[in-house]
Amino acid sequence: MVRFSRVALAYPDPRGRPGQPVLRDLSFTLGDGSFTWLLGPSGAGKTSVLRLMHAALRPTEGEVEILGVRVSRARRANLPPLRRRIGVVHQEFRLLAHLSAWDNVALPLRLAGTAESTIRSDVADLLDWIGLTGKEERRPEELSGGEQQRLTIARAVVTRPALLVADEPTSELDALQARRTIALLVEMNRLGTTVVVATHSEDLPARHPARMLTLAGGRMVADG
Ligand SMILES: Nc1ncnc2c1ncn2[C@@H]1O[C@H](COP(=O)(O)OP(=O)(O)OP(=O)(O)O)[C@@H](O)[C@H]1O
């Protein structure tokens, strides 16, 4: 479950003092196994909400509870184990530049101590699904923007996380690849993962109707 209660977030200003809030008075609950679109124009606060959801930040006010952990009050030591249960597709990819495509996807499984034989088959299956078979040994800079984006999605889902948060996961993809990516997220959801996808595109929610939370100016303006 993901629960926001009266959440506000302010980033520090250049002097380290709290700036103006970029999120205000946000309250909602996402049930286990739900699929949610997070919508709103550029600057509305979608990425900031996702950062709270993967415990990269704590709220300035209010309470955020993720997978049973109250992030607002949790001890620092409890956050890394929580983050390992969450798959994140970052808008700016954040692939490891010195690792091959294969090793980027395998890394979360290696960190989790997964058996090498399982890693071999799971990584191969996912690279096949995202159309990167034959490019396993390439480093991220040797891949196109769309290929890198598909790699970040594979890396985020390979551990079958309890919660998956994806920030504009199809921004670099053509129509076919975007459809395949959404199909992968929907399949993950069908298998039990709670999925949240931020986008300013109206096409994606039309393809997979689900709950839509709409932000504007850091506030929730629609939920339906
Ligand atoms: N690290 C930061 N420090 C200070 N302000 C920030 C930071 N990150 C985001 N902001 C501000 O917070 C507000 C919300 O930004 P956010 O990135 O969450 O919006 P968004 O809806 O994801 O936008 P986009 O669709 O363009 O990615 C914006 O005014 C932005 O300038």
What ipTM was reported for this prediction?
A: 0.96
pLDDT tens-digit readout, 163-208: 999 999 998 888 888 888 888 899 889 989 999 999 988 888 988 9
Residue nearest to atom 14 of ligand 1 (CA): 45
CA atoms of 154 and 188, how far apart (whole Å): 11
User: What percent of the chain lies above the pLDDT cut of 70?
Assistant: 100
Structural domain that includes position 128:
95-151
Q: Is residue 140 part of a domain?
A: yes
The Å distance, Cα 67 to ligand 1 centre, comes to 25
Q: Is residue 112 part of a domain?
A: yes
Please give the tally of structural domains in the chain. Answer: 1
pLDDT tens-digit readout, 87-125: 999 988 899 999 999 999 999 999 989 999 999 999 999
Q: Is residue 173 part of a domain?
A: no
Q: Is residue 126 part of a domain?
A: yes
Task: Find the residues whose C-beta lies inside 6 A of ligand 1.
Answer: 11, 22, 40, 42-48, 200
Ligand 1 atom nearest residue 44's Cα: 21
Q: Is residue 71 part of a domain?
A: no
Q: Is residue 47 part of a domain?
A: no
> Over the chain, what is the mean pLDDT?
93
The Å distance, Cα 46 to ligand 1 centre, comes to 8
pTM for the whole thing?
0.92
Q: Is residue 160 part of a domain?
A: no
Q: Which two tokens stand for residue 64?
A: 């955020």
Q: Is residue 103 part of a domain?
A: yes
Among 196, 131, 138, residue whose Cα is nearest residue 167? 196
Q: Which two tokens stand for residue 47?
A: 């990425």
